[in-house]
Structure 1
Amino acid sequence: MGRTRFSSDDGSVARARTLRRERTPAEAALWAVLRNRGLDGYKFRFQQRLGPYFGDFVCQGARLVVEVDGDTHYSQAGSAGDTRRDAYLAQEGYQVVRFTNHEVMTNLDGVAHAIRSALTLTLPPPAAAGPSLSPNGARGL
């Protein structure tokens, strides 16, 4: 079964720009931590398109999507939409972790720690510049 391709002329580029421009205070606070490889060198993208959806913060290397949810996600319709979305993302190989706006605004360090834990479960830390420390590396260990 082939993957469905989504066209770039379907309004999604404009939608992504709007989402980035109109970020919530919680999204802005978390983006300040994640941007420019700010969390242990992992690269995140903000409001990245993933098929028919957008991920708030996406680390492609770890196939991790971090969502910051507001009140609309806790309605019956919002919860059902999140379930469909999470199922689609899981089928595409992504792990989704969710935090509330309140969690991000009141416990940013804890949220960063939880994201770090999710990253280390899926991917080793990014390689640092410098000499190889592997057994087959330049040191001949």
Structure 2
Amino acid sequence: MFYIPYNINLKAFSRKLRNHSTYGEVLLWMQLRAGGVRGYTFNRQKPLSNYIVDFYWKPLKLVIEVDGGYHFTPEQRVMDQHRQQILESMGLHFLRFRDEEVRKDMSTVIKAIESCIEAFETTCQ
């Protein structure tokens, strides 16, 4: 199994991000925390390598990102794509949702996450 290094230098920044989350991130966290989706535990603002991801489920190596408005500038899109490619090369899987989508259509977001988990459960049994 490939080990994804934990960057201790990002710990303080990760905590800061938890305290300054977008509304969409807070709403999704309320659904994911304490095993809220199919009984699985997610991490929030998890440092992985040299990056911090919004949500992480270790068994599937699933990263969930909630993209707010600044993610849609051309420069930020390029940086996000580059970051995602690096993390995918480490075996991570990504689900991305727009902040607006999380705020306005949580049921569809949760269904997409459950579908991903269900696919994992069927291949691992």
Q: Same fold (TM over 0.5)?
A: yes
Deviation for aligned residue 1:112: 0.4
- The one-letter amino acid paired with 1:111 is V
> Given the two structures, how large is their TM-score scaled by the length of structure 2?
0.90
Q: Take 1:106 and 1:5, find their aligned partners in 2: how far apart are those partners?
A: 35
Alpha-carbon offset, residue 6 of structure 1:
6.0
Equivalent position SS for 2:55 = strand
Alignment of 1:9-88 (within 5 A): 10=9, 12-88=10-86
* Alpha-carbon shift at residue 120 of structure 1 (Å): 1.9
- Cα 1:85–1:107 change in 2 (3 A) is same
What displacement does 1:109 show?
0.8
| Gap runs ≥5 in structure 2 | none
Number of equivalences? 121
How far 1:42 sits from its partner (Å)? 1.4
Assess, with a 3 A threshold, how the Cα gap between structure 1 residues 76 and 110 changes in structure 2: closer, same or farther: same
Compared CA separation, residues 54 and 100, structure 1 to 2 (3 A) = same
Structure with the higher helix share, 1 or 2: 2
Q: Which residue of 1 is the match for residue 121 of structure 2?
A: 124
State the shift of 1:118 in Å: 1.5
CA distance in 2, matches of 1:23, 1:105: 13
TM (normalized to structure 1)? 0.80
2:97 to 71, 82, 99: 99
Q: Please identify the structure whose Cα radius of gyration is greater.
A: 1
The one of the two structures with greater contact order (alpha-carbon pairs below 8 A, sep at least 6) is 2
Identity of aligned residues (%): 31
The 8 Å contact of residues 7 and 47 in structure 2, kept in 1 or not, is answered as no
RMSD over equivalenced CA pairs, Å = 1.9
Distance, in Å, in 1 between the alignment partners of 2:87 and 2:40 is 20
